[in-house]
Structure 1
Amino acid sequence: MSETVLPSAQEFRELVEGLLGRDVQVLTGGRIIDPAEPGGAMVGAYVDRLLRLRALVVLDLAFAARCGAAIGLVPNRISEGDVDAQELSDTLAENAAEVLNVTASLFNTGDGPHLRLDGVAEPGQPLPHDLARWVKAYVPRLDLTVDIAGYGEGAVSILLIP
């Protein structure tokens, strides 16, 4: 069995476009997301069948709100309200968590270990210690700026845990 492969920016864009049914622009070289910044971040933890942490996907508050609104066909003004208030509503958080769940498919390619979403830390919640140490670490990672047509942009970081 080989190791988990870091998905490409194009693979992430195609997944999000297919999921949201909207055009999505992705730029690489985005900022590293800090869950301690105002508004926080949504963090999805992915584990293998032995429950070993293998990957993280970090969504800044702006992307979590905007993708949560887009997938639920909620008007953009609702996501903008959450971004302005720096607080993610329960509905948009639940929708963004579903995006994180589907994102697991990006890791399940080739003969690498099968990963699944194990849990989600929502913005404003303290990150569990085992996740917090990896979010800003220099590990194989892809830091993206993602712009959802009609909703706006946010940041996404995809990390592999060695």
Structure 2
Amino acid sequence: MSAQTPLADAVEVRSLLESLVGRDVEVLTGASAQDPAKGDGCLVGMYVDDIGAVAALVLLDVPLAAYLGGALGLVPVRMAQQAVDHGGLPDGLLENASEVLNVMGSLFNAEGAPHVRLETVFEPGHPVPADVARHAQAFGRRCDLDVDVAGYGRGGFSLVVV
């Protein structure tokens, strides 16, 4: 049997996010799956293996993308909240949240597992390819969390291993 891309658990996600943003992060399991086609959409990171096949997705709803992007870039909370209120991410928060997705790729690269890297980031409110949308809603190897970034706020997170 060939090695599989590992599925990170809530503790691994929390640990990575805390070390990245330098703030306490609380995670709660049992959250709803994030859907890029609903509401304001999601920031979607698509990760591929060495042959270019989709290996994993990370989906952040707009609030979580704004809060993580704000915390990473030391953006004032009110600016992150304005993005949430408007249902979108300005360029600075989008860039910071995309960097969060890039670092999240380390969760997939365990010893003996296939190499996985961030290939594409799909912005909230923009359509995603049909295969990405299908994987985002698939049952199976996934971790759906509510994530609270201390001092910023709470949002939804989904990690899907294809």
TM-score (norm 2): 0.97
RMSD of equivalent CA atoms? 0.8
Aligned AA for 1:10?
Answer: V
Q: Report the Cα offset of residue 36 of structure 1.
A: 1.7
Structure 1 residue aligned with 2:23: 22
Aligned AA for 2:7?
Answer: L
Q: Report the Cα offset of residue 157 of structure 1.
A: 0.2
What aligned pairs does 1:5-84 form with structure 2 within 5 A after superposition? 5-84=6-85
Q: Following the alignment from structure 1 to structure 2, what is the Cα–Cα distance between the partners of residues 106 and 156? A: 14
**Cα distance per residue 1:19-72 (max 9 Å; x no partner):** 000000011111111112221101000011111111000000110010000000
Q: Following the alignment from structure 1 to structure 2, what is the Cα–Cα distance between the partners of residues 35 and 55? A: 15
Q: Following the alignment from structure 1 to structure 2, what is the Cα–Cα distance between the partners of residues 31 and 108? A: 26
Aligned AA for 2:158?
Answer: S
Q: Report the Cα offset of residue 79 of structure 1.
A: 0.8
Secondary structure of residue in 1 paired with 2:138:
coil
Structure 2 residue aligned with 1:100: 101
Q: Following the alignment from structure 1 to structure 2, what is the Cα–Cα distance between the partners of residues 17 and 33? A: 21
- Give percent identity, aligned residues only: 50
Q: Following the alignment from structure 1 to structure 2, what is the Cα–Cα distance between the partners of residues 91 and 139? A: 34
Q: Following the alignment from structure 1 to structure 2, what is the Cα–Cα distance between the partners of residues 135 and 74? A: 29
Structure 1 residue aligned with 2:90: 89
Q: Following the alignment from structure 2 to structure 1, what is the Cα–Cα distance between the partners of residues 142 and 28? A: 14
**Unaligned runs of at least 5 residues, structure 2:** none
Q: Report the Cα offset of residue 139 of structure 1.
A: 2.3
Secondary structure of residue in 2 paired with 1:78:
helix
Structure 1 residue aligned with 2:142: 141
Q: Report the Cα offset of residue 110 of structure 1.
A: 2.2
Size of the alignment, in residue pairs? Answer: 161
Secondary structure of residue in 1 paired with 2:140:
coil
Structure 2 residue aligned with 1:159: 160
Aligned AA for 1:45?
Answer: M
Q: Following the alignment from structure 1 to structure 2, what is the Cα–Cα distance between the partners of residues 156 and 41? A: 9
**Unaligned runs of at least 5 residues, structure 1:** none
Q: Which aligned segments of 4 or more residues in structure 1 are displaced greater than 2 angstroms?
A: none
TM-score (norm 1): 0.97
Aligned AA for 2:109?
Answer: N
Q: Following the alignment from structure 1 to structure 2, what is the Cα–Cα distance between the partners of residues 34 and 3? A: 24
Aligned AA for 1:54?
Answer: A
Q: Following the alignment from structure 2 to structure 1, what is the Cα–Cα distance between the partners of residues 97 and 140? A: 24
Secondary structure of residue in 2 paired with 1:56:
strand
